[in-house]
Amino acid sequence: MSGYKNFAVVGAGNTGSFIIHQLLEHKSAGTINNVVVLTRQESKATIEGDAKVIPVDYSNKHSWRASRDSTGRKEAGVKLFVPSEFGGITAGATDGIFGQKASVHDQLKALSLPYVLFYTGIYSDFVWQPFLNLDIASGKVSVGGDGNTLIPFTSRTDIARYVCYVLTHLPADQLENLAFKLFGDTKSFNEVFKAYEAKSGKKVEVTYIPISELDARIAANPEDLVSYLHKIWATVDPIQALDNDNYLYPDWNPSRVIDNIMIA
């Protein structure tokens, strides 16, 4: 087995907590050596397992520098940096949060710091939230476009399993400056809603928002994250949605969207 043996994770929240849990399983199995977790000083997150936790005050340069060996700075000896992607494909994006993430790629290139990107599609175990107008359990949702666009979905547990497997099994030259697409399931919103109705016996009322209206909302308020995301989801390239790198983890067997909705 090749791959990396020492890991530092910045943050133990929405995604980081799943990555940390999986890394600690690898450590218990003896496949990696060290797991360091950087958390905000005010964080209430608890880490169960053999990880070194370092509270950091990100507003204090001295605090940040004291822990820089675990951050991602090239001079700290970091061999590979994993930016916080874990969503749609951001390469080439110029606006919104996708544009912000794409700008990080440019910064990493300028630093000559090796990195690897993981594109996962939508979090199938999290996205069904009222604030995203996708509270499917309420029986009322809204989506951009006509709801027929194929979209990749992956649960955070499956994301963590895949990411940790690849990082601990592939050699550096098969990871550095590359992007991996790990898609647990690919469905349109309409397919998901029909599957939910069939499995739950409940009716889902869907409101379809034209892309032109989403564009108008974003133009009026560039900070309208919900409209921005629904436009992204409504305009996914179907070829990109079906092309993936799942084969790199032969035993992955990710969960289906519908299974994550029923347990969410």
- Separation CA 18–CA 123 (nearest Å): 12
pLDDT score for 65: 53
CB 187 within 8 A of CB 257: yes
Q: What is the pTM of this model?
A: 0.89
> Residue 210 in 3-state DSSP?
coil
Mean pLDDT of successive 10-residue stretches along the chain, which has 264 residues: 84 87 93 88 72 76 50 63 90 86 90 94 96 96 97 96 96 94 96 96 97 97 95 90 92 96 75
Q: 94-145: per-residue pLDDT in tens?
A: 888 888 898 999 999 999 999 999 999 999 999 999 999 999 999 999 999 9
pLDDT score for 194: 97
pLDDT score for 45: 67
Q: 76-95: per-residue pLDDT in tens?
A: 578 999 998 999 888 888 88
81 φ, ψ (degrees, to nearest 5): -110, 135
For residue 252, which amino acid is it?
W
